[in-house]
Amino acid sequence: MPELNFPKSKIIKGLTWLGDHIPYPEKGIMGDTYPMTWADDDRIYTSSGDPHWGESEDGLDMEVFDGGPEDYKIYKVSHMNDYKGHGGHGPKPTGMICVDKNLYLAFQNFKGMQVPPISCASQHGSDSVIIVSNHISPYWKGLSWTPDFKNITEPTFPGYLFGGPAFINYGKNNENARDSYVYAVSGEQWDNGSNLRLGRVPNDRIMRGDAWEWVFSFDMYGNPAWTRDLSQSIPILSLHHSLGLPEMVYLAGLKRYLLFTWRLHKDFSPYDGTDLFVFESPEPWGPFSLVHYEELWEGKDVTPYCPRLPLKWFDQDKCEGWLQFSGNWRPFEEGRPHYRSNVRLFRLDLY
């Protein structure tokens, strides 16, 4: 068990599961990571890593979760077949957001496999890139993306310090954004990293890497100072060898940020189980309080990872919603849900 030297939340007492996890029923539709956003057309858009279905074989794609949490259907919007490479050898999605009706996707591993900074046994995640889709279609968003993959020459964020950006979502088409910036959090490797950083950018310059800035210090009142030099940035949260790809959303009803992260019991192993961490904070930079820690979350048969909270599926009045997560990338075993989307109903218990 990791050392959790965080105060308990005084706002949220804990998290209660209200049912068992539900694997996506169509066994042939597989993938993982699933960064999500609630778009202006009322659909949940996402990208899947290594989506082994349809024409896709590896890399990433563009998908839609259409419908409610108990009956949603996954549709492939774009195969994005230029994005090649299995696992850490190719681009994998880390963040998605809808702003002013445009979709933005962050992915990592643009330069392929690199040595992870915390543990060489873990799956690395570095050299991230942001692309945009403002494709006008009578039905789907995300049919085409700019720039084309063949025209990308360098990562938006070289190296591992901001190697897996997850955009902070604020609601449908980012409607509850705190200001005119878009925010993102990132660890320094795919699984079992140690440090979380926070970046922001004016919402009309999201594609400009040189317009991003990061927290590099705090004053005596806890207010952050910002720098455009990523190498000067500092973590806003540290949890040694326990931070997987993060997820942060803003709950407008509570006026709090909810942060999800996870750790594998054994680096990059689908056989040994996962721990789930949930934190809350009044601002995207903290301070963070612990809401929920769960050892062997969902059990070793599932070995879940990459928890996501689609805000369309969260009732702000009841503080109830559906967590979506990936699960079990081990080789196929009869009777176990293999490498697919899962959902589970939960409630946040308040003081």
Distances, alpha carbon 188 to alpha carbons 26, 85, 119, 162, 203, in Å: 33, 20, 11, 6, 24
Residue 325 has pLDDT above 80, yes or no: yes
When pLDDT is averaged across residues 58-65 and rounded to a whole number, the result is 96
pLDDT at 324 over 80: yes
CA 231 – CA 248 distance, rounded (Å): 23
Say how many C-beta atoms besides its own lie within 10 A of residue 136's C-beta: 7
pLDDT, tens digit, 9 for 90 and up, residues 274-289:
999 999 999 999 999 9
Residue of 209, 207, 205 lying closest to 162 (CA atoms): 209
Q: Alpha-carbon torsion 206, 285, 15, 191, what sign?
A: positive
Query: What is the C-alpha to C-alpha distance for residues 1 and 264, in angstroms, rounded to an integer?
Result: 11
pLDDT band of 4, cuts 50, 70, 90: confident
Q: What is the mean pLDDT of residues 130-145?
A: 89
Report the residue count for the chain.
Answer: 351
Question: 351 or 138: whose pLDDT is higher?
Answer: 351
> Does the pLDDT of residue 138 top 80, yes or no?
no
Residues 140, 145, 150, 152: is their CA dihedral positive or negative? Answer: negative
Q: Is the pTM of this model over 0.75?
A: yes
For residue 48, the model assigns a pLDDT of 97
Residue 112 pLDDT more than 80?
A: yes
Distance CA 164, CA 122 (A): 14
**Range in 53-67, 130-144, 213-227, 249-263 with the lowest mean pLDDT:** 130-144
Residue 3 has pLDDT above 80, yes or no: no
Q: In what order do the strands lie in the sheet with 102-108?
A: 92-99, 102-108, 129-133
Which tops the pLDDT comparison, 201 or 138?
A: 201
- Is the separation of the CB atoms in 316 and 293 below 8 Å? no
